[in-house]
Structure 1
Amino acid sequence: MDIPELTPEQARERLAHGAVLVDVREAHERASGMAEGARGVAKGELQAAPADHLPHRGQEILLICQSGRRSLDAAKALREAGYTQVASVAGGTVAWRQQGLPLVQPVQSAEDRDFFDRYSRHLLLPHVGEAGQRRLQRSRVLLLGAGGLGSPAALYLAAAGVGHLRIADDDRVERSNLQRQVVHTEASIGTLKVDSARERLLALNPGIEVETVAERVSSANVDALVEGVDVVLDGSDNFPLRYLLNDACIKHAKPLVYAAIERFDGQVSVFDAGRHRGVAPCYRCLFPEPPPPEFAPNCAEAGVLGVLPGLAGVMQATEVLKLLLGIGEPLVGRLLRFDALTARFRETRIHPDPGCPLCAPGRDFPGYIDYAAFCRAG
C-alpha cells in the first residue's frame, strides 16, 4: 500500500490544522530533541496497542522518526489496523532539524538526561539498548587490583556505566607504576591506589559507585569481597592470589575474568566453573600446579611493555560487559594468547578436568589452603 510522505514543512502545516504528530523513536533518541508539537510513542508500543495512544481511526495521523524509514513502516502497520489517514514525514527528525523547524526537549529528570546523553552510543546497539544499559547500571563488579590490568579495565567499566565497582588493593602509587597503570597520575604518587582510582573513576562518571577496600586479599576476607557481585575481574600479578580467586569464585558460583602479562606477551580467559560444573573449566584445569618461581617472574623482575596491560585489561573489561549483558561468546573454555611484538593472536581450547579437586561435578568445596606454600611447592 502507498503511504503518503510529507515534507517537514507540510507536516508542520497539517499539525496546525489538527493532525496528530507522533514521534515513533525510542525514548533515548527523542531525548536529543523532538519536532515541536509531537508526542512520543515508540514504534513497538504504537503498533502493539495503537488505540491506547491515538484518537479515532479517521483522525489524520502523521508519523516521524529519525530518517523516515521506521515511520513509514509504522504507518503501513497503522493502515492495516484500520487507520485511514496516515502519512510519514520524509527525512524524519534529521530533515526537520536541517530545515530549521522548532525542536523541543522532552520533559526529563536531570538523571534521565544524563543517562540518555552519556550512553547514547550504547543505546543504539540492539544488543544493549535501554534495557541492557539499565542492567549494567544495576550490576556489581569486583576488581582485584588497581594496577596494570585493573586500571584500564576499571576506566572502561566506569565509562560503560557499570553501577558498582568494588576495588581491592593495598598498594600505594609509585612513579614506576605510571608507565602502565593509567588510572593513576603524577599527583597520586604516595596515595593508596584504591583512593587514586576512585577519584579518577568518579571524575569520569559521577553516576556510578566506587567501593574501595585497601586490604591485601587473603582467605580471611575473600568471601566478603566476592559476596554480592556479579563478576570478578582478576587484576592480580601473583599465583597465590590467582588460585585463591579461582577457588572463591567456584565456592560462590561467580564468573572469573582472568588475564596475565609478561614482557610482550599476554593471555585472557573466562573461568566459569562455579556456575557450570563439568562444562566450563576453572583456573586449576588450566594450571593444576603453579610453575616454579624462576619460570614466572613478575613485572618488577622481567619488565613489561607499558601498553600490554592496557590491551589485556580492555579485553577483560569487554568480557565483563558481555557476561553482564548476556551477549556474544565469552572466553569460557578458551585461552586467548597474544604477542605484542608480532601482533599475533592464538586461541587454545581449555577443557574441564573431570578430576579437578575444586570444580569436578559433585565435589564439595574443600576449603581454602595456604596458597603461598602451595605455590612455593610448585
Structure 2
Amino acid sequence: MPNRLPLPVEIDPIDALTRQRDGTVLIDVREDGEREAGMPAGAHGIARAQLPERIDALANRTTPVLLICASGRRSLLARDDLLALGYRDVASVRGGFTRWRAEGLPQADGAFDSDSAERYARHLLLPEVGVAGQRRLAQARIAMVGAGGLGSPASLYLVAAGIGHISLIDDDHVERSNLQRQIVHADARVGMAKVESARQTLAALNPQVHIDTHETRLSAANVEALIAGHEVVIDGADNFPTRYLLDAACRRLRIPLVYGAVHRFSGQVSVFDARRDDSPCYRCLFPEAPSAAEAPNCSEAGVLGVLPGTIGLLQATEAIKLILGQGRTLVGRLLCYDALAAGFHELALPRDPACPGCGPDAVFDGYVDLAARCRAEP
C-alpha cells in the first residue's frame, strides 16, 4: 500500500474510493437488511453492533479503516467505537452510501436495481419495511374502486410506495368541477375517462407499477370478477349501492376492505377485514341503505376540496399496513375527522351479532343492485 497521511475524521466518497483501491479496508456498518439494497463495491458488511467482535478478522490496530453507513452519522459513532478499542487510523465516509451512490461510484449488486434502491431509500431504512417489506409491496395487488376524490390521493401514494399492481375501477369522465379535489386529474383531461387520466398521472409518477384500468360501473354482475385476486380493496366510491356491493363481495372473497367517506367538512375511515372473526363489516355500521334524501353525495351537499386528501391518505396508510402486516389497523374502529375543528376522534365499531351482512343468521341471496333506491353519482 502506498504511504499516505493518517486518515482524517471524515473523508469524501471519491477519496474513500481511491484509498480503498490502494488497499484500505472499507466497512459498511449498516444493518444487513439495508445493505441488501446495495453497498459500495468491495466493501465488507458488518453492522455497527457487531463491529467490535468481527473487526479483528479484517484489520489490526494499525490498519487504516474506512467506515460507511447510510448518511454518515452511524459511521462516525462506529469510528468512536473503534478508537475506544485501540484502532488508530479510522475515518467515516462523509454523506454515507447516499452520497456514494449519488456520485455514481461503484456499487455491489443488491436486492434492487439502482432505480428501486434510490426510489425506495427511505422505506429501506425503516425496520418495519426494509428490503423484505418493499419486496412485499412490489408483489401486492390492490383494487381501487373510484378514481375521484378519495381514489386520487390514495392511488398517488400507493403508487409512490411501490405497490406492484393497482386496478382502477370507475366509469366516469373528468369534469372541471372534479379538479377542486380530484388531484390525479388535470384541466387538459376534462372529458377523458377518469381511469385513463389517472393512469397517465400514476405512470408518470412511478413507471415500475403495473396499472390496470376498468372503465365500468361496479354492478352485481361484475363485482366479484373485478376485485377477485386482489389483496386489498379500497372504497373510493361516493354512493351507497357501490359500497354495499363491495362489502358483500369482499366478505365472500375474504378480502380486506378499506372504507372511507367524506361529507362537507367531515370524513371517516375504517377497515372491514373478512379474514378476521372479530371484524365488523360495512353493514354493522349501516345495516340498511339510507335514501338519497337522507345521504346526499358530494355533488349535492358539497365538500371541502382538501378533505378527501386527508381521508384518502389514511386509506392508503391502512392498505400499506395490511400488506406489510405491521401496526394496528382500524378493524373494529371508526376514525372520524372534523376539518373545521382540526380534530380526530375514534368510535368503537364492534361486530354486530344481529348484522344482516355478517351476523350468524345472515343469509346471502346474491348480489343486489341498490341503484333504484340510492342514486349513484361518482
AA in 2 matched with 1:175: R
Q: How far did 1:263 drift? A: 1.1
For residue 131 of structure 2, give the secondary structure of its aligned residue in structure 1: helix
Specify the SS of the correspondent of 1:372.
coil
**Following TM superposition, by how much is the alpha carbon of 1:333 offset from its aligned partner in structure 2, in angstroms?**
0.9
Does residue 1:21 correspond to 2:26, yes or no? Answer: yes
Q: 2: distance between equivalents of 1:106 and 1:93? A: 17
> Which residue pairs with 2:311 in the alignment?
312
Q: How does 1:76-115 map to 2 (within 5 A)?
A: 89-94=90-95, 104-108=105-109, 112-115=113-116
Which residues in structure 2 correspond to 1:162-201 (within 5 Å)? 162-201=163-202
**In the aligned structure 2, how far is the partner of 1:70 from the partner of 1:201?**
37
Q: In 2 relative to 1, CA 131–54 (structure 1 residues): closer, same or farther, beyond 3 Å? A: farther
RMSD: 3.9
Deviations 1:88-123 (CA, angstroms, capped at 9, x unpaired): 83444438999xxx9823045996111111111222
Distance 2:79 2:358 in 1: 52
Distance, in Å, in 2 between the alignment partners of 1:96 and 1:109 is: 13
Output the CA distance in 1 between the equivalents of 2:276 and 2:322. 14
Kindly tell me: are residues 88 and 20 of structure 1, through their superposed partners in 2, closer, same or farther at Cα, counting changes over 3 Å?
A: same
Please list, as runs of the form range in 1=range in 2, the aligned pairs for 1:156-167 lying within 5 A after superposition: 156-167=157-168
Cα distance, 1:128 vs structure 2: 1.4
Letter in 1 for 2:67: I
CA distance 1:30–1:140, change in 2 (3 Å) = closer
Alpha-carbon distance, 1:373 to partner: 4.9
Native 8 Å contact 1:281 1:359 kept in 2: yes
The residue aligned with 1:294 is: 293
How far is the alpha carbon of 1:152 from its aligned partner?
1.0
Task: Note closer, same or farther for the CA distance 1:302–1:311 as it changes in structure 2 (3 Å cut).
Answer: same
Task: List alignment gaps of at least 5 residues for structure 2.
Answer: 1-6
Q: How far 1:21 moved relative to its partner?
A: 2.5
What residue identity is the alignment partner of 1:196?
A: S
> Which residue does the alignment assign to 2:45?
41
Q: Distance in 1 between matches of 2:18 and 2:196?
A: 58
Corresponding residue of 1:347: 346
1:353 deviates by 1.1
Give the letter aligned to residue 167 of structure 2.
R
The answer to whether the 8 A contact 2:137-2:162 is kept is: yes
Q: 1:64 aligns with which of 64, 67, 71?
A: 67
* Corresponding residue for residue 204 of structure 1: 205
- What is the match of residue 118 of structure 1? 119
Per-residue deviation, 1:218: 0.8
CA distance in 2 between partners of 1:329 and 1:85 (Å): 46
Identity fraction in percent: 49
After superposition, the C-alpha distances for 1:235-291 in whole angstroms (9 at most, x for unaligned) are: 00111110110111111111111111111111111111x1012x1111001111122
Whole-angstrom CA distance in 1 between matches of 2:159 and 2:138: 10
Which amino acid letter does the alignment assign opposite residue 239 of structure 1?
A: F
TM-score with structure 1 setting the length? 0.81
Answer yes or no: is the 8 Å Cα contact 1:64–1:88 preserved in 2.
no
**Secondary structure at 2:95's aligned position in 1?**
helix
Separation (CA, whole Å) in 2 of partners of 1:15 and 1:326: 41
Matched, 1:325 2:330: no
For the residues of structure 2 that align with 1:267 and 1:163, how far apart are their CA atoms?
Answer: 27
Supply the distance in 2 between the matched residues of 1:103 and 1:88 (Cα, whole angstroms).
Answer: 26
Please say which of residues 103-112 and 319-328 is displaced more in the overlay: 103-112
Tell me the distance in 2 between the aligned counterparts of 1:355 and 1:96: 57
Equivalent in the alignment of 1:275: 275
Letter in 2 for 1:193: K
- Residue-by-residue CA offset, 1:213-252 (whole Å, 9 max, x unaligned): 0111111111111111111000001111101101111111
**Number of positions where the alignment pairs a residue of Structure 1 with one of Structure 2:** 360
Q: Is the 8 A contact 1:60 1:85 kept in 2?
A: no
